[in-house]
Amino acid sequence: MLAENQVDKSTHDPKNLTDCLLPQLAKIGFTNRELDVFCLLLEGKSNKEIGLDLCISEKTVEKYLTKIYSKLGVTNRTKAICCVMRGAKSRGSPT
């Protein structure tokens, strides 16, 4: 049990969030590569960092992000994350 002033870091770990969100993202119709990009986006990585991690160009990352934004009905990375997090909370997924 955590003390009152401690934070349960396991619920804020991007890896845990990703595990919780993968089924929801798959239902939206994300491809495997879009899932890869979105998971790195959740970690707070820049387009350049995502590209380096996935061995793709920054332009290709931008194209994947455009597809992701379109599927979520949003226009930027912050709104994309908020949209998915709201959806997860409304479905009772731990965040």
CATH number at residue 35: 1.10.10.10
pLDDT at 16: 66
**Mean per-residue pLDDT of the chain:** 81
* Cα gap 89→83, rounded to integer Å: 10
Residue 12 maps to a domain: no
Inside any domain, residue 60: yes
Quick check: 6 pLDDT over 50? no
pLDDT tens digits for range 29-39: 999 999 999 99
Q: Which two tokens stand for residue 1?
A: 């049990």
Does residue 74 fall inside a structural domain?
Answer: yes
Task: Let me know: does 71 contact 83? Beta carbons within 8 Å.
Answer: no
From its phi and psi, is residue 84 left (phi > 0), alpha (psi between -120 and 50) or beta?
Answer: alpha
Confirm whether 21 is domain-assigned: no
What's this model's pTM, rounded to 2 decimal places?
A: 0.74
Range of the domain at 46: 29-87
Distance CA 80, CA 75 (A): 8
Structural domain contains residue 41: yes
Residue 73 forms part of a structural domain: yes
